[in-house]
Every structure is written in C-alpha cells, then in structure tokens.
Amino acid sequence: MIWRLLGEADRARTGSPGARPEYDRGVCELLGMECNIPTDIVFSFSGLAARGGAKGPHADGWGLALYEGRAVRTFLEPAAASNSTLAAYIRQNPIKTLLAIAHVRQKTHGKISLANTHPFVRELWGRHFTFAHNGKLRGVKAHPLGRFRPIGDTDSELAFCAMMHRLDLAFPDGYPKEKDRLASAVAAIGADIGARGTFNFLLGDGVQLFARCATKLCFIIRKAPFRQATLSDDDLTVDFASVTTPTDRVAVVATAPLTVDETWTMGVPGEMWVFRRGRLAGTWYS
C-alpha cells in the first residue's frame, strides 16, 4: 500500500476547550499514553473510568496495560470501571510507565467475559504487543491468523491476531531497526482489515504507540509551559506545572476529549498517528 508522512497542513482539526464529549452508543472508548519519562496515567484513567458505567454507557468491562520495557502489566475486569474496587486501587496507587493503553467496553460482539476484555496482549519478536479496538468489523474471520489464536470470541481479538500474523510475515528477521517501516506496515494492515467495518485502534509495542482513526479519535501533547486541566467526566483538576519538569512530554490519545479546558487535536478518518517519546513522530494514511 502506498503511504506518505503527512505534514502539518494535512493534520487539521482541533477541538475547542470547554466542549463536553458526545458518547456513541454501541462502541467502546480508547485511551493511550506515551511519554518521554515514566509517568502515571491516574488523571486520564480517572476520566475514562467515569465513562465506564457512570458518565458513559461503556459498562461491559475495562482494562489497563502498563509497559515496563518490553513487558506489559495488564489489569482486566469484565465489569463497569466506574464502581470497580480494582480500578479505584489503581487510581490510588499510581504506577509510572512510558506507554499505557486502556479501554472501557460496550459489547457489540462477544459476551461479557474476561477473555473478551480489552486490551489484548500477544508476544512477537520477544516483546509484548498490546491492542485495543473501538468499532465493528465484518469479514475478519477470512484473514489468516498464523500462530496467533484468539482466546475470546470478539472481532477485535481476531483482528489483532490477524495483524500480528501479517507483521510476523512482513519482518521475518525480527523487530525492524527503522521504526517507520513498522509504522508503514501497521498503517497498511489497518487499512486492509478496516476496509469492512470500523477500525479505530491503539497498538503499543513498548517504544511507540500507534493510533488509527476510522471515525473518531483525538490527542493532546502536554509539554512546557504546563497548565491546569480539569476532567470532563470527574470532579478532578490537576495543575501539571506542579507535578512535571520543563523537559516532560506526555502524549494522550482518547476517543473523545477527556478535559474541558484543553485543546485536543481531532483525528481525520483514514489516518494513523505514531507517538514516540512524547512526540507525534508522524501521521500515515491508513
């Protein structure tokens, strides 16, 4: 598939501060964080958890994956995040990481169960890949899976297994030294699998975060000068200037803006962002 890196003129929509999120019924919500120094995700995860059954309809499960090098620590629960004691424990006991992926589920395909709770994790090239999906897919069973097999019965996990198989075939020598080659492959595979259905997804490999927008996705990069931010779905405000250093950079990706007083960049359907060390490394057609 032909791809190119998009310039600033091609990325173009920003959300205005103060706007409240609109929730789509029948879909899930995604949250990703990628940064240049270890950072906890408590603030953003608190906003997402509120959407998991309290301020949003996504009460069929939640999950959070936190990287430590090539390995990932995953918390999963097939229940509403908004009243989960496990989710509350995570918020009260911050764990710092360079890359995190979280998800709250409103089921469309597959029963409510631990096996069907995102994010999903698979090993490839001696590292964990982590994946979360928002949307509905058709014809995903037609894609070959190779050595990767689903544990649950969601279209999301099937798509992830198909993606892992194709990456395995594309790079038989292992993790590519040129990270843009991997980004190009992920974008092409995303476009192919997403051609029949809705394929918003987050994919992490421990050093970079891929975020594909099929219908709805946004991001913000917090960097100096840091300011105060207030969640749209929880009574929580943080003055980031008091908890960061001038060199910190934190990229946060979400289905809908999590705060009411920050400007989020809105995704264009058919593009995929790649974040490395808290920066937007590039945007690919997907």
Active site residue 28: yes
Quote the tokens at residue 138: 């058709």
Strands 120-124 and 62-68, how do they pair?
A: unpaired
Task: Report the alpha-carbon distance of residue 264 to residue 254 in Å, rounded.
Answer: 10
**What CATH number is given for 8-285 in this structure?**
3.60.20.10
Distances (CA, A) of 216 to 93, 134, 262, 274: 31, 9, 18, 16
**pLDDT tens per residue, range 221-275:** 999 999 999 999 888 899 998 888 899 999 999 999 999 999 999 999 999 999 9
Q: Which of 28, 35, 161, 218 is flagged as catalytic? A: 28
Nearest-CA neighbor of 254 among 82, 58, 54? 58
pLDDT, one tens digit per residue, over 171-187 is 999 999 999 999 999 99
**Number of residues that make up the chain:** 286
pLDDT digits (tens, 9 = 90+) for 4-62: 343 333 333 455 565 444 545 446 899 999 999 999 999 999 999 988 766 667 768 89
Domain boundaries, the chain: 8-285
The number of CA neighbours under 13 Å toward the Cβ of 147 is: 7
